[in-house]
Amino acid sequence: MLATILVAAAMAIVIGAIVWKMIRDRKSGASSCGCGCDGCPSSGSCRPDKH
């Protein structure tokens, strides 16, 4: 029972950290893929404000 609670808490912390980083990156204007949009075929629909 305690192990289940600890695993669930650890997963919640990891998922929360991932979501927090995604929100922070989006607010700062960072791309979600981490690479540039130069060669991306869907760059126009991904970030229309940058093109």
Per-residue model confidence as pLDDT tens digits over 1-51: 999 999 999 999 999 999 999 888 888 776 666 666 666 766 667 655 654
Burial label, 13 (beta-carbon count in 10 A; 0-12, 13-18, 19+): exposed
pTM for the model stands at: 0.57
| DSSP annotation of 38 | T
Per-residue model confidence as pLDDT tens digits over 30-42: 666 666 666 676 6
CB atoms within 10 A of CB 32: 9
